[in-house]
């Protein structure tokens, strides 16, 4: 009886996968997004959907995230939050796991920047450190949104070998990239980044200064105490608050 029940469940899963895979090609962005979310729930059993999910990575159509989980409806009604079919395809590829790794690395070198950004996020979420050199190269991508995803991915991978590339990226022309890089350096936790992060406390953007203060607190190096003390006089309250937290974290 148990084996018959298992066969029945597998048959249902196969039907669900076929219908969801077909829906990935729907003309409706919400339907494409929902299909990717449904495939994500199937996890490693959805390998045959990889090619279509890879194609969907380039889809940046804005969609209400409630299409994937109605429980988010109240939350999304109160905030300007959207997702895209491409983002949910990336999440599904992460759920599929290792078989998606090599195809994602190829997308990372492709011509469509939305796809490259989603692939970078997915490679970070997959947790395979072999992607580190490719993601470090993403920090030089022509599109700021892709560079931001690459910085996040390196932080998620705890990729200390990417430290030189990340430190260089603290000089990026895009505020969002610099902010994400500061976060990544704090997440990695390598104290060789302390000097660069102290310099970032003087960044023109308050969001970067705030993130640099957090990162210095996360690193916990007393060398940063003087710079953080100076940041207590920052014109932006959020920077001052984060500097105070960081000083407490390092015992300064």
**What percent of the chain is modeled with pLDDT above 70?**
89
* Predicted pLDDT at 16: 79
Please state the rounded mean pLDDT for residues 135-153.
98
Please state the rounded mean pLDDT for residues 4-14.
41
More confident residue, 243 or 2: 243
Residue 81 burial (CB count, 10 A): 13
Q: Please name which of 50, 59, 68, 70 lies closest in space to residue 26, comparing C-alpha atoms.
A: 59
Average pLDDT over the chain reads: 91
Query: Does any domain span residue 252?
Result: yes
Does 177 lie in the same domain as 114? no
Q: Which of 126, 148, 175 is the last residue of a domain?
A: 126
Q: Please name which of 74, 78, 80, 82 lies closest in space to residue 33, comparing C-alpha atoms.
A: 82
* Dist CA 170 CA 175 (whole Å): 9
**Domain total of the chain:** 2
Q: Is the pLDDT of residue 202 over 90?
A: yes
Domain CATH number, residue 178 = 1.25.10.10
Strands (E), 118-206: none
* Predicted pLDDT at 79: 54
Does 171 lie in the same domain as 107? no
Query: Does any domain span residue 139?
Result: no
Q: Is residue 150 within 8 Å of 165, Cβ to Cβ?
A: no
- The predicted-structure confidence for 76-120, as pLDDT tens digits, reads as follows 444 568 999 999 999 999 999 999 999 999 999 999 999 999 999
Does 16 lie in the same domain as 122? yes
Does 194 lie in the same domain as 99? no
Does 114 lie in the same domain as 33? yes
Q: Is the pLDDT of residue 251 over 90?
A: no
Q: Please name which of 141, 170, 166 lies closest in space to residue 154, comparing C-alpha atoms.
A: 166
Q: Is the pLDDT of residue 121 over 90?
A: yes
Query: Does any domain span residue 246?
Result: yes
* Predicted pLDDT at 81: 83
Q: Band the pLDDT of 10: cuts 50, 70, 90.
A: very low
Q: Is the pLDDT of residue 198 over 80?
A: yes
Please state the rounded mean pLDDT for residues 196-200.
98
Range of the structural domain that residue 185 is part of = 163-252
Question: Would you give the DSSP letter of residue 239?
Answer: H
Query: Does any domain span residue 156?
Result: no
Half-sphere exposure of 209 (CA within 13 A, CB side): 22
Does 185 lie in the same domain as 236? yes
Q: Please name which of 199, 117, 110, 128 lies closest in space to residue 151, comparing C-alpha atoms.
A: 117
Instruction: Name the phi and psi angles at 27, rounded to 5.
Output: -70, -10
* Predicted pLDDT at 157: 97
Contacts of 97 (CB under 8 A, 6+ apart): 43, 44, 126
Q: Band the pLDDT of 71: cuts 50, 70, 90.
A: very low
Q: Band the pLDDT of 39: cuts 50, 70, 90.
A: very high
Taking the CA atoms of the chain, what radius of gyration do you get in angstroms?
A: 21
Find the helix or strand (DSSP H, E) in which 54 lies: helix 50-56
Q: What is the residue-wise DSSP string for 109-142?
A: TSS-HHHHHHHHHHHHHHT-GGGHHHHHHHTT-S
């Amino acid at each position: 009886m148990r084996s018959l029940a298992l066969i029945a469940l597998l048959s249902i899963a196969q039907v669900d996968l076929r219908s969801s895979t077909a829906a990935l090609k729907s003309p409706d962005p919400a339907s494409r997004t929902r299909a990717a979310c449904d495939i994500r729930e199937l996890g490693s059993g959805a390998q045959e959907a990889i090619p279509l999910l890879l194609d969907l990575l380039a889809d940046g159509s804005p969609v209400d995230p409630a299409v994937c989980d109605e429980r988010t409806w109240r939350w999304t009604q109160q905030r300007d939050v959207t997702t895209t079919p491409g983002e949910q395809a990336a999440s599904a590829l992460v759920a599929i796991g290792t078989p998606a790794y090599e195809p994602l690395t190829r997308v990372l070198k492709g011509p469509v920047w939305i796809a490259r950004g989603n692939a970078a996020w997915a490679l970070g979420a997959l947790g395979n450190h072999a992607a580190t050199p490719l993601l470090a190269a993403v920090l030089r991508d022509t599109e700021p949104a892709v560079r931001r995803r690459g910085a996040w991915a390196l932080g998620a991978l705890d990729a200390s070998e990417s430290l030189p590339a990340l430190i260089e990226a603290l000089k990026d022309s895009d505020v969002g990239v610099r902010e994400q890089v500061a976060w990544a350096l704090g997440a990695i936790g390598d104290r060789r980044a302390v000097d660069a992060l102290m310099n970032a406390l003087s960044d023109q953007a308050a969001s970067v200064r705030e993130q640099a203060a957090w990162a210095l607190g996360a690193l916990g190096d007393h060398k940063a105490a003087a710079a953080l003390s100076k940041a207590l006089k920052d014109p932006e309250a959020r920077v001052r608050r984060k500097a105070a937290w960081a000083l407490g974290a390092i015992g300064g």
